[in-house]
Structure 1
Amino acid sequence: MSKLYLMSLGCNKNLVDSEIMLGRLSAYELCNDPSKADVLIVNTCGFIESAKKESINAILNLHEQRKKDSLLVVTGCLMQRYQEELMKELPEVDLFTGVADYERIDEMILKKTNLFSSSTYLQNENTKRVITGSNFHAFIKIAEGCNQKCSFCAIPSFKGKLKSREISTIVSEVKDLVQKGYKDFSFIAQDTSSYLFDKGQKDGLICLIEEIEKIEGIRAARILYLYPTSASEALIKRIIASKIFVNYFDMPLQHISDSMLKIMKRGAGQKKLKEMLTLMKNAPDSFLRTGFIVGHPGESDKDFEELCDFVQNFGFDRVSVFAYSKEEDTAAFDMEQVPFKVINARLKKIEKIIDNVLEKSFEKEVDKKRLVVCIGESSEGAFFIAGKDLRWDREIDGEILINESECGDLEMGQIYECKITQSLDKKLIAKALRKIDAN
């Protein structure tokens, strides 16, 4: 059996695409050693400069490691965005493809032919997919592309306009995964709250929530990447009312200064953002995640200080922050740029604030009882079992270290009620109290 090595870079939307390719390449034996693989695939990210560099370095490193007569294939966002340039500049690569032909990867490898279809790729009922990294949790991509016009983002230029999957195909996929033992789902897209807007339906995500709730066997679900102008009060209240969807609210804000929100073309002002965030924050057992960009053209010292005050005082549970990246095909590309030294100084300052915010979020969990999924050996070694709060998304929100059990040996993929006993270096220590029945 021929061996396959696949490297998936970037976001979890990319991961879903990689898992679809694995589904098409089931005739291959997966291996973790690139030097032994007959076919090597890199699914690239092309979002910002650092991601582009990571993708190029990964390609070149794999080329150095691969054996003679192996096939090196590069796919994904970076290839879609810089197709002509990369095909000229990367003679190390044997086959190139973009973001529209994941289900033709087997055909492409067989025929040794580059493929760059112009259509948007969406899963359907017949899509085969191999879930990786968990026997309990799966990401579900509900749409592709984006209709927003954010000044800093080039995604619409290479991913295209929003194109939503039919609800029936999503329901079919989730049902199939539940039958295979998956119980925890994260629904993702570039802009999830615009789901079905392209079909003229403004309550599409609410309709999807209602259909997913009808599926027996799901223990938890959450929605990632809400957008301020497409997320409505009705949607937030529907999530809060759901018995399946946890009160996990992930809305990348990018800034809070009205001046910067306008320059960044975010479509919503500070007042609306704070109203929505307050509604989310006041939900029972709510969990708030957001993200910000520092150093975007036009950001004054006053704008930055306003952002720092907001991050420090609002009470988020998780915050990501990025230095502005100057990207072609964006409105901000030709604006007067903030000097790199200023951006770096601002980044260091806000990162310290975020560290304190995260510390407070972890500390407030001490003495609380949470439903926790066992996910394997912890990052701290065999003395702890790693767990994930059932509210949290996979991997990005932290780790719970279970060091005591009142209910015997713990099973991977099983849910336990745990008491949080300690917060230590952005990790929670917990004791397992009782096993939660499957239903």
Structure 2
Amino acid sequence: MNKKLHIVSLGCTKNLVDTEVMLGRLKSFEMTDTPDEADVIIVNTCGFIDAAKEESIQTVLNLDAARKEDALLVMAGCLSERYKEQLQKELPEVDIFTGVGDYDKIDELIAKKQSRFTPHVFLSDNQERIITGSTSHAYIKLAEGCNQTCSFCAIPGFKGKLHSRTLESVVKEVRRLVEQGFYDFSFISQDSSSYLYDQGETEGLIRLIEAVERIEGVKSARILYLYPSTTSLKLIDTIAGSAVFQNYFDMPIQHIDPEILKKMKRGIGSDRIVELLEAMKAVPGSFVRTGVIVGFPTETKEAFEALYRFVENFGFDRVSIFEYSDEEGTDAFSLEPKIDAETIRERAEKLGEIAERGMKASMQKMVGKRYEMIVEGPSEEHEFLLSARPLLWAPEIDGEVLVNESEIEGLEFGKCYRVEVTEVAGIQPIGRIVDA
């Protein structure tokens, strides 16, 4: 009888790719959703901000309480890497600790019941992965680490400088996944627009786009996490002109106030940010997503109001809002004055209202139009509704369209169909399938 495995992947989609590599190394295990049945429990942790750290620790403790007596509990990933000495002292509940360098050795560590922290970040080079959550979409990691010096970010401290995969390695992985039936791809890294900068290429992402376009079987793709200072107008034009890559622009700006941007060490001013965003917005059928931080140290009422007005007036399709987290080891940690927690929360809520209005307006523009969508399966909202995702949207973060009617018999989940959006109920688009 095969041993059973329960695995939890926390944090970002880059973590998810690493979790899928671990699953590929542990194919001999039988997966279980019930932790008290598992012989091995793995938590791939996130260590980016306080809330993520707390979630990771609590998940480990909850799974320790639920596991059977002889089960192994493994703590892997960013939090484990960032605080390896401290956690090994303070979490005797954990049997095996490993960080961000040994995902492809997880089977060996479990067999030996050995903790290990390899002094480099693991970067997939065509290891077999077991893709989770979809039969049509897969994430492709382009790089690890980051050359940016944002004053609020701890990632370079434990993941190091930018380390890009070769273009050949990425293309080989995409081809292999196409052979397995995947046709929709999201390309990810900490700073995707810097892809291949460490290999002397300043237009690496453009080369990637051109290479992926030549792969037969790729129907759709998008790039996540563009960094403003390494995003060019030529890159925007290349995406806009691509027959494969969606006009999807995901560029976290973090702020718009010039002084706050300087203190954040973003390497770019507000004028250039506006120029890039306007170019993205001008692309026909574009979808523009951003992320912002509220409550950064020294953020005055006036600086916040500048950010608020900008988000309100620009018309983003989606905005992710993050409350500033004071992270040791970052330059912002010593910045004063700090903004109190209540003010940060109030500002986040106020900006959240604008973000929701923008999302509703974006969805309302879809009514009466037809889009290519992947019909994923039954919706969690209701057993008689289907969940569909427009190819223009990124999985998980941009939402779903609920399908309540179809003119097509014998629908196949994971396939693309033409869906007409008929209405928006609250913040939920409703549609009907009109063609295959």
Distance 2:122 2:202 in 1: 22
Specify the SS of the correspondent of 1:383: coil
CA contact (8 A) 1:186 1:393 kept: yes
Alignment: residue pair count: 434
Unmatched 5+ residue regions in structure 1? none
Deviations 1:300-328 (A, max 9, x none): 10110011111111010010001100001
Match of 1:390 in 2: 391
Give the counterpart letter for 1:417 in structure 2.
R
The reply on whether 1:192 has 2:207 as its aligned counterpart is no
Distance 1:120 1:331 in 2: 23
Write the distance in 1 (CA, Å) between the matches of 2:215 and 2:12: 27
Q: Where does residue 93 of structure 1 map in the other structure?
A: 94
TM-score norm. by structure 1 comes to: 0.98
CA-to-aligned-CA distance 1:247-304 (integer Å, 9 cap, x gap):
0000011001111111111111111111111111111210011000000011110110
CA drift of 1:119 comes to 1.8
Aligned mates of 2:31, 2:370 — CA distance in 1: 39
Give the deviation of 1:122 after TM superposition.
1.3
Greater mean deviation of Cα atoms: 153-162 or 357-366: 357-366
Partner of 2:168: 168
Instruction: Give 1:162 deviation, angstroms.
Output: 0.3
Residue number in structure 2 paired with 1:408 = 409
- Distance in 2 (CA, whole Å) between partners of 1:260 and 1:311 is 16
Residue identity in the other structure for 1:419: E
Query: 1:213 and 1:404 mapped to 2: Cα distance?
Result: 33
Distance 2:368 2:413 in 1: 24
The residue aligned with 1:303 is 303
Deviations along 1:48-77, one digit per CA (max 9) or x if unpaired, are 000000000000000000001100000000
Counterpart of 1:53 in structure 2 is: 54
Tell me the amino acid that sits aligned with residue 131 of structure 2: I
Question: Is the CA contact 1:96–1:115 (under 8 Å) kept in the aligned structure 2?
Answer: yes
**Runs in 1 of length 4+ with deviation above 6 angstroms?**
none
1:160-212 per-position Cα deviation (integer Å, ceiling 9, x unaligned): 10000011111010001001000000000000000000111101111111111
CA shift digits 1:104-145 (9 cap, x unpaired): 0000001111110002211113x1110000000000001000
Map of 1:29 onto structure 2? 30
Residue 430 of structure 1 corresponds to: 431
Q: Tell me which residue corresponds to 2:211.
A: 211
State the distance in 2 between where 1:218 and 1:284 align.
Answer: 22
| Native 8 Å contact 2:39 2:70 kept in 1 | yes
Letter in 2 for 1:246: Q
Q: Which residue of 2 is the match for residue 267 of structure 1?
A: 267
1:371-400, CA deviations, whole angstroms, 9 ceiling, x for partnerless residues? 111001112222211000011111110110
Q: Which residue of 2 aligns with 1:145?
A: 145
2:412 counterpart SS class: coil
Conserved 8 A contact 1:398-1:426: no
Secondary structure class of the residue paired with 2:121: coil
Distance 1:349 1:153 in 2: 24
Contact 2:100 2:120 in 1 (8 A): no
Structure 2 unmatched ranges of 5 or more: none
Q: CA RMSD in A?
A: 0.7
Q: Contact 2:378 / 2:386 at 8 angstroms: preserved in 1?
A: yes
Secondary structure (helix, strand or coil) at the match of 2:291 reads: strand
Contact 2:376–2:387 at 8 Å: present in 1 too?
A: yes
The AA in structure 2 aligned to 1:181 is G
| Larger CA deviation: 339-348 vs 30-39 | 339-348
Per-residue deviation, residues 392-412 of structure 1 (Å, max 9, x unmatched): 111110110111111223210
SS in 1 for 2:246: strand
The residue type paired with residue 89 of structure 1 is E
Counterpart of 1:290 in structure 2 is 290
| Bigger shift: residues 39-48 or 396-405 | 396-405
Shift of 1:29: 0.6
Q: Which residue of 1 aligns with 2:110?
A: 109
Q: Deviations over 1:217-270 (max 9, x none)?
A: 111000000000011111111111110000000001100111111111111111
Partner of 2:133: 133
Measured in 2, the distance between the counterparts of 1:163 and 1:175 equals 22
Same amino acid, percent of matched pairs? 52
Distance across 2 between alignment mates of 1:419 and 1:340:
44
